[in-house]
Structure 1
């Protein structure tokens, strides 16, 4: 075995030789001679290393054999007689692997300097995987054989206490599930108790699930005799269960075959997207919002759903008489998050997601290229991504004419709002993914990978079992045939990223997140990602936005900033960002002030509140209307175009006016951004001549 492994390693080293620096001072005729000498030297070295490695391996094997024999001989016969097949299977394999590790370590030490650094690193990684295998083996066998008798003895001896403990674990798991899938955790300043519950609960519930599964397996494959409570110690329970397990070899194989067949049939027939909360959420979004504007509408008399409410996303592209495509205004860009929980991009281990957009024209993603070994960009499609026509993406129906083919508007909107999902971008946690998948709390969707030539037209995975396993253990990445898409906020919550990618001249962002502390988490995240991925700096001073704390009006609800496209593109004209945040400044109308006084968290109420009453809905509408008029009315009137057949507003001029408006309100202490010149402080007015009155004070005195 050792000789085969060593020979395989040498063969791989010969296939991928190390690149040595070439010596440029050699004569042209001397190069072939030097190459021949190097080959002879390599062969001689290979023979010497092979003999040396063999002798060291024999010595290490002899020491390991002596240790094994000595260890077995030191065990008393009374103990050996009590070791049954269960104990041998549970502890025998880890002990043998441990002895193997000691032997290999001794061999590496004896080989000494003949070992290359690459070989030592190979053995180090092999040792790590061996340790992982030992832990997995021990955990599996301990849970399978030792947990059922322990639970039986515990409930027999301490029935009331065990019931209370199980109920407490279930409540903890429920609390952790709620807190882990909400906005109350994963943010700076969130409750430490909720954070702790979200971290502990998945492990606690996984323990319950493992206990239930192992007990069910024991009952089905090897039922143990029922022992009288209070008369048998724990060792008697173990002995009875172990004896039943050793007599169950005839039932275990049929049970495994039955489970495998059941999993295969269900994985083939049960659609992973249809049988989840995603489809329920999507259908109700379509009925509530699209149905309201669908006229005429023919709903089902019992369910109230109408299939005509949900339209294909590509139908929003209108065709002109000459055959060209005219996009509808506004042009919808629906953002989702491509989950990369198991991605190999080390630079993105914190974000764990990328942007995946759906528009009437194209669907797809494009991740920034990572630098190569020589500083150049890697031209790999896996890193860059691609886009496919929306009319063809996910358009191939299943075998039985699946009605879920094509990207429809309801599909895109539902995925874009899939906040509660096992994979949630930078909110992802492997234990929480396991727990949410187990309870089918899955609002996300498995969609075809645009990079896969033979898969990107399929509407869903043919067999959902493998996708479900990937979702269960957090193994989502960008190289699979199907991608797991969830709420766009799991990557960037404002929708600014994709607009900056398209170099929009004027971008209006409404930050409606529940940010009552004004930490601007979503804004900061978007600005950082735009600069990190696209090298586009955004200069914005949000210090003016401040909520009222007394009767005196303070602060503002909107600010303008500059998007410096020229820093990334060189010649591109810069853009303007109008950032609006729902804020009570104190100058609002009486109805808004009344609602604020009776609801202290307005206008930053939790997004968990999905049942707005009439007063609440009207208060948010009125506040948004007032902020929008204050931010855009004056600039929109000045930029309005009065020429027949032209757009209603000159966007370039409107952006210019908004930027000037922001510069007039900006303080003088704004720091420069990446080499930009800081804004100049306002020039104080010159003192007026005697007897001349200026300003409002002068008017009042006059």
Structure 2
């Protein structure tokens, strides 16, 4: 039931719940910032040494102003979304009043800032300006509150006796569309290994006419490289990547596509370094800001004091319990609610309304109570345990140097970065080879260290470094007034934060842009008039809505990715993702019947929403997102990568992309129409740039839980859901599917196929009958063959049930990268030299010409063995 976990009992759409959550969370942030200012204002009113708390309060107030302006804007957008015309205009008035109040608030802060230090304490009041500002602020928020209530379901029932729009509808996603009754080809994931193998298979299928006969080619991850390259080149060349062609010769020179040449290596290093520096700057800004406020508060309360250069922590300043009550009060409220529920249920039935209210109180108090307790109790406790004070800390000098701007500090910080990078590389290699068994004790111990110990070691190092910085800065702000009065630090922090917001975003700091460019330059080529092949200009926008269309009778290009979500409303436990499919007509989220309608958008409309310059939803961008295996969020394999999520995020090992949630802004036919005129274009351009994902999305990658209700979703490797593309192919109800599988699953287990079979049954009710036993090598030198035939039976439609017809069936032709039969001599020799052939680790993306040709030739040979069988050829040639 949609939204049931959020307490809506299925009576709201994804966008409605998401907009309400966005508004309430921003409002909660504003309230928290207002509460943080309260002790500072109280200290100013006390009149003693008011300069530090007064100016610190004004700095916090600047953040508070930003938060409540955003909250007012999102409140107005929520009311507008509900499409109540009368209240929409009223909400606009309220939002504008809040904005005017914010301007007056800024003027007041500037005036008060100059007043501090010039005489007596100003009591944070600027005469009539403060009175007017408060009045406008209160009126604006009262209006917004009235609109929020009036447009709620309860408010509509009480005020007008009407209901809001009906909840979302659910219908099967087995719509078939243009692929119904036709042939679909899928190319599996697996990096350059799969790209090479699938290239050979597609070459043979094109020679036999099956590629042109297909209505769609579906690419996943590495298979998407080749699927896209074939599709784009075929628009101009009828026989793309044929033997002896200039584009195939060029591709052989690009088999180290990620780091092909010195310039690519240099750009890769800069991309990693750029994102890493931005990430560390953001972490530093947050830690320094928290330490400043927290240090002043703990010092002001007398919890932390400097006594003869030694730290002294007092949990009950002046013998009062107020500090401990403040630190643990919210957690105590949550515990009290639990007790009340238990006692109430013992003596009477608790009404659902009361239970809902108590659950909300418990959730909010716990959400904010835990960080409050950690900061107010954990930080003083940490300072006490390590004996930290400026100049005499008791901590190892190497750790303290991390937050000191000295040569030793730079060296220690650099050493930390090197250690983290080394851990990250070791962990990734371990994950890439996980599942490969070894009889040697050394290999098993190394695998255990890489997959079990190193992930937590990297996370522990990051947390330890951040903790030391927070303790050190907090201790300085609590005990050193000159340190606390250095207001130039605030200017630097604000300038850096503003610069990060203006000049970059969460997508630009990731490795996606570099990855996308390398894929484009290596695989997307065009035939020149002189007969040579060259990369398509990277700056040419290959819009997916145009370049993925079927052309001259050929197939359409579909690229499969996933949207990472962790909502119990939509995904089973630990699946953590839903399919995100790039199609030339419609793009977006596709899944089982638990997902409501509205998850797909017109591709051309979505392209404009994602980026006004039409750069985010292109063919190379889709290739890169579908191949984004290296990311903090990894869908179904989150269980393996969760321990290193924080490590990957900090190190900028991030290939995923934050895209607009297709469920949002999907209530009109043309939500983002093209604009004309200079000022409309300028407005759209500025709005698109400002709206790019910011630091909050980085936090969601590192430690958060991505949600289907969020305004943006994180799109990564399609193999995180189904590495074969088979489930998406069957959803389209074709008559036949050719599956080209170069997955690196364990030999003779065919786990990628098994997972696809189970997923098709769970998500779409499709039963797949296929037996891969002829491909099992076992104790034999070779498998009997590298392909098998199967049947997928679709659930009956209402018409089939009513007419007592047989269910629709799809034939599956499955070809797998295994050694089978008698191969060409060059492959036989390569296989003897490379014992891991054809299961080379996916982490190894650096092939030479022999590696590339071996996998390409194997794909060609095995596809030939499939279509060479007389029954298979007869079935595939059938109309």
- Taking structure 1 as the reference length, the TM-score comes to 0.63
**Are residues 1:445 and 2:674 paired?**
no
Q: Which residue of 1 aligns with 2:461?
A: 208
Q: Which residue of 2 aligns with 1:387?
A: 600
Q: Which residue of 2 aligns with 1:676?
A: none
**Are residues 1:282 and 2:516 paired?**
yes
How much has 1:277 moved relative to structure 2? 0.5
Change (3 A) 1:540 1:461: farther
Q: Is the deviation greater in 609-618 or in 184-193?
A: 184-193
Question: Are the equivalent residues in 2 in contact too, given 1:272–1:468 (CA < 8 A)?
Answer: yes
How much has 1:626 moved relative to structure 2? 1.9
Q: Which residue of 2 aligns with 1:353?
A: 577
RMSD: 4.6
Change (3 A) 1:89 1:299: farther
Question: Are the equivalent residues in 2 in contact too, given 1:176–1:200 (CA < 8 A)?
Answer: no
Choose from 372, 375, 379 the match for 1:140. 375
In structure 2, what is the Cα distance between the partners aligned to 1:148 and 1:297?
Answer: 71
Q: Which residue of 1 aligns with 2:537?
A: 306
Number of matched pairs = 524
Change (3 A) 1:265 1:158: closer
Question: Are the equivalent residues in 2 in contact too, given 1:545–1:555 (CA < 8 A)?
Answer: yes
Question: What is the CA deviation profile of residues 258-290 of structure 1, one whole-angstrom value per residue up to 9, with x for unaligned ones?
Answer: 646643552343133233210101101111111
In structure 2, what is the Cα distance between the partners aligned to 1:365 and 1:103?
Answer: 41
Q: Which residue of 1 aligns with 2:854?
A: 619
**Are residues 1:175 and 2:423 paired?**
yes
In structure 2, what is the Cα distance between the partners aligned to 1:619 and 1:543?
Answer: 25
In structure 1, what is the Cα distance between the partners aligned to 2:579 and 2:521?
Answer: 27
Q: Is the deviation greater in 213-222 or in 486-495?
A: 213-222
Q: Is the deviation greater in 384-393 or in 488-497?
A: 384-393
Question: What is the CA deviation profile of residues 218-250 of structure 1, one whole-angstrom value per residue up to 9, with x for unaligned ones?
Answer: 6667648xxxxxxxxxxxxxxxxx644x88655
Question: What is the CA deviation profile of residues 160-179 of structure 1, one whole-angstrom value per residue up to 9, with x for unaligned ones?
Answer: 9xx99x97997578435643
Q: Which residue of 2 aligns with 1:315?
A: 546
Change (3 A) 1:247 1:527: same
Q: Which residue of 2 aligns with 1:263?
A: 497
What secondary structure does 2:509 align onto?
Answer: coil
How much has 1:514 moved relative to structure 2? 1.7
What secondary structure does 2:396 align onto?
Answer: helix
What secondary structure does 2:596 align onto?
Answer: helix
In structure 2, what is the Cα distance between the partners aligned to 1:508 and 1:123?
Answer: 55
How much has 1:651 moved relative to structure 2? 4.2
How much has 1:338 moved relative to structure 2? 1.2
Q: Which residue of 1 aligns with 2:619?
A: 409
The residue correspondences of 1:400-479 to structure 2 (distance < 5 A) are 402=613, 404=615, 407-428=617-638, 429-453=641-665, 462-465=691-694, 466-479=696-709
How much has 1:543 moved relative to structure 2? 1.0
In structure 2, what is the Cα distance between the partners aligned to 1:256 and 1:94?
Answer: 27
Question: Are the equivalent residues in 2 in contact too, given 1:461–1:482 (CA < 8 A)?
Answer: no
Choose from 794, 809, 826 the match for 1:565. 794
Change (3 A) 1:122 1:583: same
In structure 1, what is the Cα distance between the partners aligned to 2:320 and 2:868?
Answer: 79
Structure index of larger Rg: 1
Q: Which residue of 2 aligns with 1:154?
A: 395
How much has 1:434 moved relative to structure 2? 2.5
What secondary structure does 2:652 align onto?
Answer: coil
How much has 1:313 moved relative to structure 2? 2.5
Choose from 555, 560, 565 the match for 2:784. 555
What secondary structure does 2:814 align onto?
Answer: strand
* Larger relative helix fraction: 2
The residue correspondences of 1:332-371 to structure 2 (distance < 5 A) are 332-340=557-565, 342-345=566-569, 347-370=571-594
Question: Are the equivalent residues in 2 in contact too, given 1:555–1:585 (CA < 8 A)?
Answer: yes
In structure 1, what is the Cα distance between the partners aligned to 2:577 and 2:771?
Answer: 28
Question: What is the CA deviation profile of residues 59-105 of structure 1, one whole-angstrom value per residue up to 9, with x for unaligned ones?
Answer: xxxxxxxxxxxxxxxxxxxx997855999898553455576678777
Q: Which residue of 1 aligns with 2:810?
A: 575
In structure 2, what is the Cα distance between the partners aligned to 1:124 and 1:173?
Answer: 43
Change (3 A) 1:511 1:192: farther
**Are residues 1:528 and 2:758 paired?**
yes
Question: Are the equivalent residues in 1 in contact too, given 2:610–2:659 (CA < 8 A)?
Answer: no
What secondary structure does 1:509 align onto?
Answer: strand
Q: Is the deviation greater in 173-182 or in 576-585?
A: 173-182
Q: Which residue of 2 aligns with 1:695?
A: none
Question: What is the CA deviation profile of residues 333-381 of structure 1, one whole-angstrom value per residue up to 9, with x for unaligned ones?
Answer: 11111111x32326423211111111222212222223xxxxxxxxxxx
Q: Which residue of 2 aligns with 1:44?
A: none
The residue correspondences of 1:503-514 to structure 2 (distance < 5 A) are 503-514=733-744
Change (3 A) 1:89 1:402: farther
In structure 1, what is the Cα distance between the partners aligned to 2:625 and 2:649?
Answer: 16
In structure 2, what is the Cα distance between the partners aligned to 1:470 and 1:525?
Answer: 28
Change (3 A) 1:356 1:484: same
Higher RCO by CA contacts (8 Å cutoff, separation 6 or greater): 2
What secondary structure does 2:604 align onto?
Answer: coil
Point out where structure 2 has 5 or more consecutive residues left out of the alignment.
Answer: 1-148, 156-311, 402-410, 439-443, 674-683
In structure 2, what is the Cα distance between the partners aligned to 1:352 and 1:460?
Answer: 29
How much has 1:603 moved relative to structure 2? 0.9
Change (3 A) 1:259 1:208: farther
Question: What is the CA deviation profile of residues 519-542 of structure 1, one whole-angstrom value per residue up to 9, with x for unaligned ones?
Answer: 211111111111111111110001
Question: Are the equivalent residues in 2 in contact too, given 1:540–1:561 (CA < 8 A)?
Answer: yes
Question: Are the equivalent residues in 2 in contact too, given 1:290–1:310 (CA < 8 A)?
Answer: no
What secondary structure does 1:354 align onto?
Answer: strand
Question: Are the equivalent residues in 1 in contact too, given 2:609–2:660 (CA < 8 A)?
Answer: no
What secondary structure does 1:212 align onto?
Answer: helix
Question: Are the equivalent residues in 1 in contact too, given 2:571–2:577 (CA < 8 A)?
Answer: no
**Are residues 1:330 and 2:555 paired?**
yes
Choose from 713, 717, 723 the match for 1:487. 717
How much has 1:498 moved relative to structure 2? 1.2
Q: Is the deviation greater in 182-191 or in 280-289?
A: 182-191
Change (3 A) 1:102 1:352: closer
How much has 1:582 moved relative to structure 2? 1.5
What secondary structure does 2:665 align onto?
Answer: coil
Choose from 846, 854, 864 the match for 1:629. 864
Question: Are the equivalent residues in 1 in contact too, given 2:382–2:471 (CA < 8 A)?
Answer: no
In structure 2, what is the Cα distance between the partners aligned to 1:89 and 1:156?
Answer: 36
Q: Which residue of 1 aligns with 2:441?
A: none
How much has 1:613 moved relative to structure 2? 2.0
Change (3 A) 1:99 1:274: closer
Question: Are the equivalent residues in 1 in contact too, given 2:579–2:590 (CA < 8 A)?
Answer: yes
Question: Are the equivalent residues in 2 in contact too, given 1:184–1:194 (CA < 8 A)?
Answer: no
Q: Is the deviation greater in 138-147 or in 444-453?
A: 138-147
Change (3 A) 1:307 1:121: closer
Question: What is the CA deviation profile of residues 28-61 of structure 1, one whole-angstrom value per residue up to 9, with x for unaligned ones?
Answer: xxxxxxxxxxxxxxxxxxxxxxxxxxxxxxxxxx
Question: Are the equivalent residues in 1 in contact too, given 2:588–2:662 (CA < 8 A)?
Answer: yes
Question: Are the equivalent residues in 1 in contact too, given 2:645–2:703 (CA < 8 A)?
Answer: yes
- Taking structure 2 as the reference length, the TM-score comes to 0.51
What secondary structure does 1:355 align onto?
Answer: strand
Question: Are the equivalent residues in 2 in contact too, given 1:181–1:421 (CA < 8 A)?
Answer: no
In structure 1, what is the Cα distance between the partners aligned to 2:602 and 2:655?
Answer: 25
How much has 1:622 moved relative to structure 2? 2.4
